[in-house]
């Protein structure tokens, strides 16, 4: 029986689905590439910004306050753009569909990448801020639409693995930009516009390759009410003619949620029967940014320098950390459909909680014990790995699984807004917090990680290998049981 189930699982991963998945995750590659370029202080983008501001320093006078303000706005505009992009997700995917939204976003990505590449020529703060805002908006849309599309076209047994593949390509994009930003290559100033606008080529390639592939069958049947087109899309994705079993499952979801109709963001915030799912997503997306990952990134450089490795070798610490993260994500991709989403979340948030405490304790000893900086380095890398293993991977997948078709896009919009708001808040305040409390900064994040761990332990169900309708009924059973327990206690 087990052998038959495994064979069935292998048959479900068809060549068409695999090829479409690889094309779609190129959007995640663009997101990862841009994320490193605009946020890392040692990257080409930040170096370019410093050069630009030095050129224009005379225009703002000897007082550097205006200069620092413009630099802060330039850095902060990326998450603000991503937040705006997240708000647009619901409108775009419900009106144009998942595939067409990716195509529209590719056009926007090409335009913003070209603008970013031309910033060196234009040499204007306003133009650079505009380009970074566009890049952030594209990243916010990719961050939501890619996992949504993949979650809807994936077979039940492969949904987790395929969804995590998108996050793996985020890291690959990050590493490619990291390689382009190697210190020994920074003297190639003429190549900077090409490096900064590289995602335009990736977006153009995705735009051309994605055109012949079908729209999400669930979107076609449930939202567009086009059953025949949905059937043809399923046949193409599954490489077989007999898709009636899966069509029937989609029909059941359509009839089940017909009373809900289309739920926009404002309706979802007030929709009582989906309150538990929405609270779950808000907590997971907030925990994604408040697990201690930002403090680890911020402090990793100082930890590395305390080992005596030298400033010129800091790039290698970032690169080796990224390699470890790819390994941890590849392992998570292998086990998520067998170990489950809940297990990865518990391991991730639990490990982040413990490592925040251990880092706070050991950092105090780095100046008194010669080998302690190496322990700190290991703890920092493990914290980043724990974040990638669960808190960074699973929340987007949980949005896909906890919400049905009528409310999924609005849930992604809300989840994206929560994530990018806290990302902006972290980036805006972390330096000020560090100046006040120093190495105790990890204690600020400990209660958030621990709180997320306890919430998941008590309220988040396991969703592996279940259809969307089965997950909805499972959530309703959990809520009903809790009401019975409360009534019994009272």
pLDDT at 159 over 90: yes
d(CA 391, CA 452): 9
pLDDT top residue among 450 and 488 = 450
Helices H, strands E: what count in the chain? 24, 0
The average confidence (pLDDT) of the chain is: 83
Q: Which CATH architecture has domain 14-213?
A: Up-down Bundle (1.20)
Q: 124 in the Ramachandran plot: left (φ > 0), alpha (ψ -120 to 50) or beta?
A: beta
More confident residue, 104 or 120: 104
Distances (CA, A) of 251 to 95, 179, 214, 449: 21, 48, 19, 39
265-490: CATH topology is: Growth Hormone; Chain: A; (1.20.1250)
Question: What are 433-467's pLDDT values in tens digits?
Answer: 877 887 788 899 999 999 999 999 999 989 998 99
Domain boundaries, the chain: 14-213, 265-490
**Residue pair 400/151 in contact by the 8 Å Cβ criterion:** yes
Whether the CB-CB separation of 88 and 13 falls below 8 Å is answered with no
Range with top average pLDDT, 119-123, 190-194, 248-252 = 248-252
Q: 441 Cβ partners below 8 Å, 6+ apart? A: 295, 298, 299, 430, 433, 434
Least confident span in 92-101, 220-229, 364-373, 414-423: 364-373
Whole-number pLDDT of residue 313: 65
Full-model pTM = 0.89
Same CATH fold assignment for domains 14-213 and 265-490: yes
- pLDDT-based confidence at 44, cuts 50/70/90? very low
pLDDT in tens, 286-338: 999 999 888 887 777 677 666 666 556 667 777 777 888 888 888 999 999 99
């Amino acid at each position: 029986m087990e052998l038959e189930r495994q064979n069935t699982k292998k048959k479900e991963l068809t060549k068409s689905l695999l090829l479409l998945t690889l094309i779609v995750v190129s959007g995640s590659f663009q997101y990862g590439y841009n994320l490193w370029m605009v946020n890392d202080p040692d990257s080409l983008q930040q170096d370019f910004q410093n050069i630009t501001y030095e050129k224009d320093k005379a225009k703002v006078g000897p007082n550097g306050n205006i200069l620092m303000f413009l630099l802060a706005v330039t850095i902060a505009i990326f998450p603000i753009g991503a937040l705006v992009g997240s708000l647009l997700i619901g409108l775009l995917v419900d009106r144009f569909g998942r595939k067409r939204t990716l195509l529209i976003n590719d056009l926007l990505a090409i335009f913003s990448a070209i603008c970013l590449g031309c910033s060196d020529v234009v040499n204007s703060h306003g133009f650079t801020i505009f380009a970074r805002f566009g890049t952030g908006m594209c990243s916010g849309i990719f961050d939501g639409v890619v996992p949504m599309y993949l979650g809807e076209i994936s077979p039940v047994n492969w949904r987790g693995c395929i969804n995590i593949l998108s996050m793996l390509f985020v890291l690959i994009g990050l590493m490619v930009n990291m390689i382009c930003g190697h210190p020994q290559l920074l003297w190639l100033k003429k190549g900077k516009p090409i490096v900064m606008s590289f995602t335009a080529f990736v977006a153009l390639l995705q735009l051309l390759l994605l055109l012949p592939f079908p729209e999400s069958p669930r979107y076609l049947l449930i939202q567009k009410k086009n059953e025949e087109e949905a059937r043809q899309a399923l046949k193409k994705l599954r490489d077989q003619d007999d898709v009636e079993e899966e069509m029937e499952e989609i029909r059941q979801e359509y009839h089940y949620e017909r009373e809900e109709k289309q739920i926009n963001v404002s309706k979802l915030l007030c929709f009582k029967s989906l309150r538990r799912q929405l609270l779950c997503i808000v907590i997971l997306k907030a925990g994604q940014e408040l697990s201690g990952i930002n403090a680890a990134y911020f402090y990793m450089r100082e930890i590395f320098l305390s080992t005596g490795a030298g400033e010129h070798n800091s790039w290698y610490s970032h690169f080796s950390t990224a390699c470890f993260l790819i390994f941890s994500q590849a392992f998570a991709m292998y086990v998520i459909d067998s170990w489950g989403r809940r297990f990865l979340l518990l391991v991730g948030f639990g490990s982040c909680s413990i490592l925040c405490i251990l880092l706070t304790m050991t950092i105090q000893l780095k100046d008194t014990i010669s080998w302690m900086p190496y322990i700190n380095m290991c703890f920092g890398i493990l914290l980043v790995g724990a974040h990638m293993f669960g808190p960074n991977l699973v929340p987007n997948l949980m949005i896909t699984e906890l919400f049905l078709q009528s409310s999924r896009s609005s849930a992604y919009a809300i989840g994206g807004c929560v994530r990018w708001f806290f990302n902006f808040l972290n980036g805006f305040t972390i330096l000020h917090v560090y100046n006040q409390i120093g190495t105790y900064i990890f204690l600020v994040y400990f209660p958030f990680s621990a709180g997320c761990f306890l919430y998941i332990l008590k309220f988040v169900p396991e969703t592996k290998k279940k259809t969307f309708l089965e997950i909805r009924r499972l959530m309703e059973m959990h809520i009903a049981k809790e009401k019975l327990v409360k009534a019994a206690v009272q």
